[in-house]
Amino acid sequence: MLAFEQILNGLQFGIMLFLLSAGLTLVFGIMGLLNLAQGSLYMIGAYAAAYVGAHTGSFLFGGLAGIGAAAAVGMATEYLVLRRLYARSHLDQVLATYGLVLFFNEGITILFGRQPLYVDIPASLNGAIQLASGLSYSIYRLVIIGVGSLVGIGLYVLIGHTRLGMLVRAGATHRDMLRAMGVRIRMIYTVVFGLGALLAGLAGVMAGPLSAVQIGMGEQILILTFVVVIIGGLGSVRGAVLGAILVGVVDTLTRVYLPGLLKTMMSTANADAIGAGLSSMGVYLLMALVLLWRPRGLLAGSL
């Protein structure tokens, strides 16, 4: 039962990662833009949700505000800054979006101060639910799994079975043809970027009650997000789903079981030291293995 609980933990963590990496991979796949500021949009979502939530007393309003703020800031950033970068090299993009990270961190400091904000789980989602005998699991975490799954299905439908999705897919592969047919591709870029920002904001909103809403909270999770995107294949949303769940589960299980496993082979002190080291490398080892097997990621080349 403990093992099942840990797999659920891994799944839930993976879904948080998916929400962040979906936007990142969409933006890379379609515009070829490497965006380090994705973590900042996550932070903006969390801050807006915390602020509005505290002032209205409603987690729902807070959540809507968080998603809205992240999408709005995302689209504004795309319009004002990022569209100048599409033609530039990835290094320029990394530098510019890193600059945005600093800008947003300072901006939040000026607006909200250094004091981390307080957000609680809404009362209706607090507590645990009995899933089986000996296995109870936090309702809020189950809701995260549910929301994330819905988003995944929604993205699948949106990209695979709608007109907008068709344009988006065409924009990724046949940019010039699309332009020649009179489609305003810049508009599509802004919308896609806004969608990615919205998902990052959603991740921020849902992370608020679980973790510290503070400056720089996005950078902490950003590295794992990139690992997800690389494992899944740059630009592939389905890859992001697969990568996120793999990373979430592998990270959780190595953290939990590796030290114990090593203890059966060596002295406790050594096992603790090596286990802690190895388990923090777990996802990076996974990434290395995947890249050895498939150098462009698991599902590269398919949106």
Partner 1 sequence: MMCRSIVLSAFVSALFAHTAFAQSEVKIGMVTTLSGPAGYLGADVRDGFQLAVDEESGKLGGVPVRVLVEDDGLKPGQGKEIADRFLGSEKVKILTGFIFSNVLAAVAPDAFDAGAFVISPNAGPSNFAGKDCNKLYFVTSWQNDAVFEAAGQNATNLGKKRAYVLAPNYQAGKDAIAGFKRFFKGDIVGETYTRLDQTDFGPEMSQIRAANPDAVFQFHPGGLGITFIKQYVQAGLENIPMFVGGSGLDRRILTAIGPAAEGVNITSQWNSDFDNPASRAFVSAFKAKYNRIPDSYASQGYDTARLLASALKAVHGDLSDTEAFRQALLRADFVSVRGEFRFAHNQHPIEDLYALRVVKDADGKLDIKTVGKVLSNHTDAYGAACKL
Q: Can you state the angle between helices 90-112 and 38-56, rounded to 10 degrees?
A: 20
Burial group, residue 237, by CB count within 10 angstroms (0-12, 13-18, 19+): buried
Asked if 142 interacts with partner 1 (CB under 8 A), we say no
Minimum CB–partner distance for residue 180 and partner 1 (Å):
45
Q: Give me the residues paired with residue 117 across strands.
A: 213
Nearest C-alpha neighbor of 139 from the set 152, 118, 121, 119: 121
Our CB check for partner 1 shows the closer of 63 and 171 to be 63
Our CB check for partner 1 shows the closer of 102 and 187 to be 102
Asked if 10 interacts with partner 1 (CB under 8 A), we say yes
* Contact by Cβ (8 Å): 240, 228: yes
* Cα-based distances in Å from 49 to 111, 215, 262: 14, 14, 42
- Among positions 227-266, residues that touch partner 1 (CB under 8 A) are 252, 255-256, 259
* The two three-digit tokens of residue 113, written as one number: 């101060």
Asked if 16 interacts with partner 1 (CB under 8 A), we say yes
| Per-position x/- string for 52-91, each x denoting binding to partner 1 as judged by CB under 8 A, each - no binding | ----------------------------------------
Radius of gyration of the chain, Cα coordinates, nearest whole angstrom: 20
* Contact by Cβ (8 Å): 45, 66: yes
Choice from 83, 216, 291, 296 touching partner 1 (CB under 8 A)? 216
Choice from 146, 154, 277, 301 touching partner 1 (CB under 8 A)? 277
| Per-position x/- string for 108-127, each x denoting binding to partner 1 as judged by CB under 8 A, each - no binding | ------xxxxx-xx----xx
* The two three-digit tokens of residue 98, written as one number: 């890193």
Residue type, 246: L
Asked if 39 interacts with partner 1 (CB under 8 A), we say no
| Per-position x/- string for 170-209, each x denoting binding to partner 1 as judged by CB under 8 A, each - no binding | -------------------------------------x-x
Asked if 51 interacts with partner 1 (CB under 8 A), we say no
Our CB check for partner 1 shows the closer of 164 and 266 to be 266
> Which helix (H) or strand (E) is 136 found in, with range?
strand 135-138
Minimum CB–partner distance for residue 234 and partner 1 (Å):
22
* Contact by Cβ (8 Å): 69, 44: yes
Choice from 158, 212, 291, 300 touching partner 1 (CB under 8 A)? 212
DSSP 117: B
Nearest C-alpha neighbor of 104 from the set 32, 194, 42: 42
Choice from 47, 59, 140, 189 touching partner 1 (CB under 8 A)? 140
Q: What's the rounded Cα separation, in Å, for the pair 166 and 168?
A: 5
* Contact by Cβ (8 Å): 192, 74: no
Minimum CB–partner distance for residue 156 and partner 1 (Å):
25
Asked if 5 interacts with partner 1 (CB under 8 A), we say yes
Binding residues for partner 1 (CB under 8 A): 2, 5-6, 9-10, 12-13, 16, 114-118, 120-121, 126-128, 136, 138, 140-141, 207, 209-217, 220-221, 223-224, 252, 255-256, 259, 272, 276-277, 280
